Chain A
């Protein structure tokens, strides 16, 4: 799903609390939908005679960082639904972007930094550090 906030804000919200509730509902819906799709795929594979199905529906959601901030405004809510959080930030030298995996409470994660930049027609993988 592209731009979670834009979808949540497609309907008006009375206040911050109402918006947070809408965001939580949207995330719960997406999470349940992905789990449901996984169950259906695995059931279909089992019916077809597959011993152990590797099928899985993976959910990937993009979100904007807040203006002037490094993080989305409601990251604390989103983290409940996403074991993995990838952050894209502008590189200090101004030469493109850097993608990193945020640390998780579940255990150590890769600290590698993936660098990329935009060309006129595509994104270009520039390097992997660490």
Chain B
């Protein structure tokens, strides 16, 4: 991502090419995205993560979120509109009780227990990559509009 990221990366890969080419390019810096309730922030974030994971086969994305929130209002990214194979490289992680230490983000279970923080990979079926399960589960979950 060193060359920057187009704003179109917040949207599905099948967006019109003419609009994608005109979308502004962001420098490769940390970014805050804010907006009112119901504007699609979670979907923008999740789509960005999927597109970032699609940048190359070694790329990987981690989405930190509240499980209750995303289950109540899942991101709107149908698997068929995501980059092929990218969802398998997106990990959904839930932080219950907030973050306390850098180890929370690293996902070290022992240190998380010591810090009293629960950080778990969201999985809808044991043994399968979280994002794959996530994508599959979207078909079963009611869409929230």
Which chain A positions have C-beta within 8 A of B52?
58
In the complex, the number of residue pairs spanning A and B with C-beta atoms less than 8 Å apart equals 200
Which of B5, B20, B102 lies in contact with A58, CB distance below 8 A?
B5
Point out the residues of chain B lying under 8 angstroms from A65, CB to CB: 34-36
The interface bits of chain B over 52-87 (1 if a CB of A lies within 8 angstroms of the residue's CB, else 0) are: 100000000001111001100000111001000000
In the assembled complex, the Cα of A10 lies from the Cα of B64 at a distance in Å of 14
Chain B residue with the shortest CB-CB distance to A127? B19
Specify which of B11, B22, B45 is in contact with A60 (CB 8 Å cutoff): B45
B-facing residues in A30-87 (Cβ within 8 Å) = 30-34, 36, 54, 56, 58-65, 71-72, 75, 78-79, 81-87
Chain B interface (Cβ < 8 Å from any Cβ of A): 1-3, 5, 7-8, 10-12, 15-16, 19-20, 22-37, 39-49, 52, 63-66, 69-70, 76-78, 81, 95-99, 101-102, 104-106, 143, 145
- Other than the known A32-B102, A58-B1, A123-B47, what 20 A-B pairs have Cβ atoms closer than 8 Å? A1-B65, A3-B66, A29-B102, A60-B33, A61-B33, A62-B34, A63-B41, A64-B36, A81-B30, A84-B32, A88-B34, A97-B35, A97-B40, A112-B22, A120-B145, A123-B40, A123-B44, A125-B11, A127-B19, A128-B23
